[in-house]
Chains A and B, each alone.
Chain A
Amino acid sequence: MAKKLLEIKNLTQYFGSSKEPVKAVDGISFDIYEGETLGLVGESGCGKSTTGRSIIRLYDITDGEIIFNGKDVHSSKSANEMKQFNRQMQMIFQDPYASLNPRMKAGEIISEAFDIHGLYKNKKERLEKVESLLEAVGLNKEHANRYAHEFSGGQRQRIGIARALSLNPSFIIADEPISALDVSIQAQVVNLLKQLQKELNLTYLFIAHDLSMVKYISDRIAVMYRGKIVEIGLADDIYHSPVHPYTKSLLSAIPLPDPISESKRTRIPYVHEELDESASLYEVADMHFVYGTAASVKKWQNT
């Protein structure tokens, strides 16, 4: 079994007043292994993006522990230690239009990290690095001198990926990187991410709400609902033998490009049941966990 790269223990992220907090993430725990892709799916507002942003320390967490490469992410760090951390973990953002500064050229966006970290001070070296990054994500060298608004959505997302790769990270959080792109471009970007993973031995946390795309890229899938992970397991297990009723409901909503099976497909509506205090993650199969009480998990398994 591969080494654990990231361990998340009881991560909790509340927003707003302490009296009536918005429980964006409510005590979730999972691990990410080196070299794998963990897909995190769930509906809008279930806390997927918050989870990603908490892991990379864009938010100060309310409670819990995030251990990356054996070190606590949220412990107080000197500026230098923080930079070391930034070099290892990077993020690809959702909106390719909002994630690039409209006043900067693509080359400046990609080399921004070099200024921050004092890398590649030699002009020629820097240009070479920028060009190699552009080529790695399937863009041309000539694109370095263009502004963000001159690119299409897919190209912009490639620039975002190049920026995330500029510090040679080992772990990348992809926060719905394809949801703002049209379907043909989605495939290109996902394939690019897969290819980069193979070449650079990257580990991904891939956040999305599109189960079919997540299935394609992920080794394991975690399903999130109302700030909790309700089911986590190998992609095939989640896809073919889901246990939690919410997962079943999500899977039943995937359309297929086949009119015959489509005409027979019925959506399973999800009715949320409040669980009592004893609810936790139960292992139903090898590496396949479901959140619920002992009784409810047994009941779900039999239906």
Chain B
Amino acid sequence: MSQQQLEKIEKEMFEIVGGRHEETEKLAKKSVSFWKEVIIRFAHNKLAIFGLIALMAILLMAIFAPIFSQYTYSEQLGLYNKAPSAANWFGTDDLGRDVFVRVWEGARISLFIGITAAIIDLVIGVVWGSISGLAGERVDNIMMRIADVLTAVPYLLVVIVLSVVLGNGALGDGLLPMIIALSVTGWINMARIVRGEVLSIKNQEYVLAARTLGANTKHLIIKHLIPNALGAILVTMTLTIPMAIFTEAFLSYLGLGVSAPLASWGTMASEGNNAITNAPWRLIFPALMISLTIFAFNAVGDGLRDALDPKLRK
């Protein structure tokens, strides 16, 4: 093309037929919030979904099975150590009580202890950890050394001693001494995790930016610290519940749990242990429930942790 021809070409001869920047921006996919994305990633994890469904089923059964069953957990049917049948799905025990109802009654106790202990851990741990992370170096040091001293004492020893002492005291032998014993050292893990999160978040540039905008501590905690630490707290909590359930079952197995005729999974397994040769169902069903529950909680906890980790984002 010659120079002359080139000069004849003017700007007006061209028009943009597509690819306008503004329009492509408008067409872009709908924005997904962080939590929606977490749910989507969680839903892709088959094991975690299985765990979630199992937990829902256990929870629903714990609530409704004792209500709709024709037996109660303490009712003696006069049928001793009967194998599972159409009338008694999980069989009966040595006093002629229906194991099926007792398993779900036990589920109520185990889940109640697990969840209550986890909530107490959550509250103490979050408060302790965030004060430790936010306050100065000296306060942090003192608070964390106290936690260190508490962890230095063997966990089971503390729990056993406390539940024996409290159980014989004014609190009576029931759920309360057990929950207190579980919570005395249980919160330390949560406190450590929260402290770590707070320490790392408070030096993030977006927190510095909020401070230069004039944000006070309350604003920083509500808008920045809590939303960003929530993931780690949630994961820790889903892993604390099975730990508490397991410890409760273990202590009950040792004979420190709730008293008769109430029974948690641990006491049932303990009693069933004596009849393992002639009535194995009395051990198998509570043991199965303990395993399933702990497995399900761990699966959900792991799934949550993976779903919350932005490094695994596709």
Contact = CB atoms under 8 A, between A and B. Distances in A.
A112 B215 CA distance: 9
A102 B214 contact: no
A112 B222 CA distance: 12
A98 B205 contact: yes
A113 B213 CA distance: 6
Nearest to B212: A91
Contact of B208 (A93, A115, A140): A93
B31 A146 contact: yes
B209 A116 contact: no
B206 interface: yes
A93 B31 contact: no
Interface string A108-150: 0100110111000000000000000000000010110111011
B213 A86 contact: yes
Given A93-B205, A98-B206, A163 B213 contact: yes
B215 A98 contact: no
Nearest to A102: B34
Interface stretch (B60-68, B72-80, B223-231, B278-286): B223-231
A83 B214 contact: yes
A163 B209 contact: yes
Nearest to B30: A145
Contacts of B32: 147
A205 B204 CA distance: 21
Interface string A72-90: 0000000100110011011
A101 B206 contact: yes
A116 B219 contact: yes
B214 A140 contact: no
Given A93-B209, A103-B34, A146-B31, A79 B216 contact: yes
B25 interface: yes
Contacts of B216: 79, 116
Contact of A117 (B25, B34, B214, B223): B214
Contacts of B223: 101, 104, 112
B12 interface: no
B212 A112 contact: no
Interface residues of B, number: 27
Size class of A's contact patch? 35 or more
A23 interface: no
A215 interface: no
A263 B311 CA distance: 43
Contacts of A53: 208
Contact of B205 (A99, A112, A167): A99
B313 to A, nearest CB: 8
A116 B213 contact: yes
Given A86-B212, A140-B22, A145 B31 contact: yes
A80 B209 CA distance: 18
Nearest to A108: B223
Interface of B is mostly: helix
Nearest to A103: B227
Interface string B278-314: 0000000000000000000000000000000010010
Contact of B228 (A93, A102, A113, A116): A102
Contacts of A83: 214
A285 interface: no
A147 B219 contact: no
B26 A112 contact: no
A103 B214 contact: no
B229 to A, nearest CB: 10
Nearest to A115: B219
B161 interface: no
A99 B216 CA distance: 18
A209 B33 CA distance: 36
A99 B212 contact: no
A92 B227 CA distance: 23
Interface in B197-242: 204-206, 208-216, 219, 223-224, 227-228
Nearest to B35: A103
Nearest to A58: B208
Interface in A144-183: 145-147, 149-150, 160, 163, 166-167
A90 B212 contact: yes
Contacts of B22: 140
Interface string B2-34: 000000000000000000001001101001111
Residue among B205, B211, B213 with most chain A CB within 10 A: B213
Interface in A163-207: 163, 166-167
Interface of A: 53, 56, 58, 79, 82-83, 86-87, 89-91, 93-95, 98-105, 109, 112-113, 115-117, 140, 142-143, 145-147, 149-150, 160, 163, 166-167
22 contacts: A58-B212, A90-B212, A90-B213, A91-B212, A99-B205, A99-B208, A100-B206, A101-B206, A101-B223, A102-B310, A103-B227, A104-B223, A105-B31, A112-B210, A116-B210, A116-B213, A116-B215, A116-B216, A140-B26, A143-B25, A149-B310, A160-B209
Interface of B: 22, 25-26, 28, 31-34, 204-206, 208-216, 219, 223-224, 227-228, 310, 313
